[in-house]
C-alpha cells in the first residue's frame, strides 16, 4: 500500500472547491506515453495550473499499470524541477468499472478514482459507487461517479446512444453514494466522431459540420439541486479542424470528425463544472504532427525526431485549453 501523499500527489477535494467558487474548470488530460506526460507537466507548470493526469483501463493495458504510476510520481518531481514549488497534480483512474480495479489503483498511489456504473441499473450503480467511496475515503482518495450515459467510444467504454442525466436523481445519488464529484451526460460524447453528420447542421459559409448544442438547461437544473457540488464533463475534446485537416492532408482519413465547440466548454467551465476531460484532442495533435513530420522528412527514422514535434504540438494544445477554454491558469 502506497499513499499518494508520499508521492506528492493531491486529491481533488480542495482543487474542485476552488474551481467551483472561482468559475473555472480543472483540465483532466489522459496519458499513455512519456511524451504526453511531459507535455502535460510542461503546460501545467508554464501556465501555473492544477492538473489531473488520468489513466484509463486501456492506458493501463497499453503502458503497464506500474509504469504509469511511476510516471505520475515522476511528473511531480519533473514539475518541481521545472520550477513549480508546489505542483497540484492528481493521478486519477478514468472509467474504473469494478471495485477491484479502483482498489488496486488506490493501493498503488492514485489520489482519485472514477467508478463508472452508469450502464448499470440505478440501484446497482449506487451500491457499486458507495462500495468504492467507503474504501477510498479511508485513504482520503476522492471518487467520481457517473449518472447518465455518454455516447461514443473511449478505450473499452462504448455506448451507441446517450441518455441525459436525470436531474431528479442527482440528490439521492450523491447523498447515498457519498461521491465527491459527479460525471453527467448533457450531450458530450467520447471519441473524435462525437456526432454523425445527420445529427449536425452545416455551416453555410464554411461547409463544416456544426454539432447540436449541449443541454445547458439540464446542467443548470442539476446545479440548482446540488449547489456547489463538483460536476464533471467527459468526452469534451473539440476535435480541432486544423489538426484534422493536417492529418487528412498527410495521408490520414478522418472524414467528418466532430467535437464539442470550445465556446460551449468555456461557458460550462464557469458553472459547477469543475473537471473537463480531454483525450481525443491530444491524440489528434500527436498524430497530426507525426504525419506531417514523416511526410516532409521521409528519410528520418529516429523516433525522437518525430516525437519531439508531436510533444510540442500537444503542449501547445494543452496550454490553449488551460488558458483559453478552462481558465485554470494562474491558480497555483
Binding site for Zn ion (CB under 5 A): 234
Least Å distance, CB 51 to Zn ion, is: 17
Whose Cβ is closer to Zn ion: residue 25's or residue 289's? Answer: 25
Task: Pick left, alpha or beta for residue 232 (phi over 0 → left; psi -120 to 50 → alpha; otherwise beta).
Answer: beta
Give the integer Cα–Cα distance in Å for 241 and 237.
12
Whose Cβ is closer to Zn ion: residue 153's or residue 294's? Answer: 153
Whose Cβ is closer to Zn ion: residue 280's or residue 287's? Answer: 280
The conformation of residue 54, written as its DSSP 8-state character, comes to E
Least Å distance, CB 313 to Zn ion, is: 23
Q: Which helix (H) or strand (E) holds 172?
A: helix 170-177
Whose Cβ is closer to Zn ion: residue 60's or residue 234's? Answer: 234
Least Å distance, CB 190 to Zn ion, is: 6
Q: What are the contacts of 3-8 at 24+ separation with CB within 8 A?
A: 3/109, 3/139, 4/91, 4/109, 4/110, 4/111, 4/141, 5/140, 6/109, 7/72, 7/73, 7/76, 7/91, 7/109, 8/73, 8/76, 8/77, 8/80, 8/87, 8/89
Residue 227: burial class (beta carbons within 10 Å; 0-12, 13-18, 19+)? exposed
Whose Cβ is closer to Zn ion: residue 234's or residue 320's? Answer: 234
Q: Which residue is nearest to Zn ion (CB)?
A: 234
Least Å distance, CB 259 to Zn ion, is: 14
Closest CA to 95 of 57, 62, 151, 121: 57
Residues tagged active-site: 94
Least Å distance, CB 292 to Zn ion, is: 28
Amino acid at each position: 500500500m502506497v499513499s499518494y501523499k508520499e508521492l506528492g500527489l493531491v486529491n481533488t477535494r480542495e482543487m474542485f472547491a476552488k474551481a467551483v467558487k472561482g468559475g473555472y474548470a480543472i483540465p483532466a488530460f489522459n496519458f499513455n506515453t512519456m511524451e504526453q506526460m511531459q507535455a502535460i507537466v510542461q503546460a501545467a507548470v508554464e501556465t501555473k495550473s492544477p492538473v489531473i493526469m488520468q489513466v484509463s483501463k486501456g492506458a493501463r493495458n497499453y503502458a503497464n499499470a506500474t509504469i504509469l504510476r511511476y510516471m505520475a510520481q515522476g511528473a511531480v518531481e519533473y514539475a518541481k524541477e521545472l520550477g513549480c514549488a508546489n505542483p497540484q497534480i492528481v493521478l486519477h483512474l478514468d472509467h474504473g468499472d469494478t471495485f477491484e480495479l479502483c482498489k488496486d489503483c488506490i493501493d498503488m498511489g492514485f489520489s482519485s478514482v472514477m467508478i463508472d456504473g452508469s450502464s448499470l441499473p440505478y440501484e446497482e450503480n449506487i451500491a457499486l459507487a458507495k462500495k468504492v467511496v467507503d474504501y477510498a475515503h479511508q485513504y482520503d482518495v476522492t471518487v467520481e461517479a457517473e449518472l447518465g450515459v455518454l455516447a461514443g467510444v473511449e478505450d473499452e467504454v462504448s455506448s451507441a446512444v446517450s441518455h441525459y442525466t436525470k436531474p431528479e436523481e442527482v440528490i439521492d445519488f450523491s447523498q447515498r453514494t457519498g461521491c465527491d464529484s459527479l460525471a453527467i451526460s448533457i450531450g458530450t460524447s467520447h471519441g473524435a466522431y462525437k456526432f454523425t453528420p445527420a445529427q449536425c447542421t452545416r455551416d453555410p459559409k464554411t461547409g463544416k459540420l456544426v454539432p447540436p448544442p449541449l443541454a445547458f438547461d439540464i446542467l443548470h437544473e442539476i446545479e440548482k439541486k446540488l449547489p456547489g457540488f463538483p460536476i464533471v464533463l467527459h468526452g469534451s475534446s473539440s476535435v480541432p479542424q486544423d489538426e484534422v485537416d493536417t492529418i487528412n492532408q498527410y495521408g490520414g482519413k478522418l472524414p467528418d470528425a466532430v467535437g464539442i465547440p470550445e465556446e460551449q466548454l468555456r461557458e460550462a467551465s464557469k458553472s459547477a463544472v469543475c473537471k473537463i476531460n480531454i483525450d481525443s484532442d491530444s491524440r489528434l495533435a500527436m498524430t497530426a504532427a507525426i504525419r506531417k513530420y514523416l511526410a516532409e522528412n521521409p528519410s528520418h527514422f529516429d523516433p525522437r525526431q518525430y516525437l519531439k514535434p508531436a510533444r510540442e504540438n500537444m503542449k501547445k494544445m494543452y496550454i490553449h485549453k488551460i488558458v483559453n477554454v478552462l481558465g485554470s491558469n494562474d491558480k497555483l
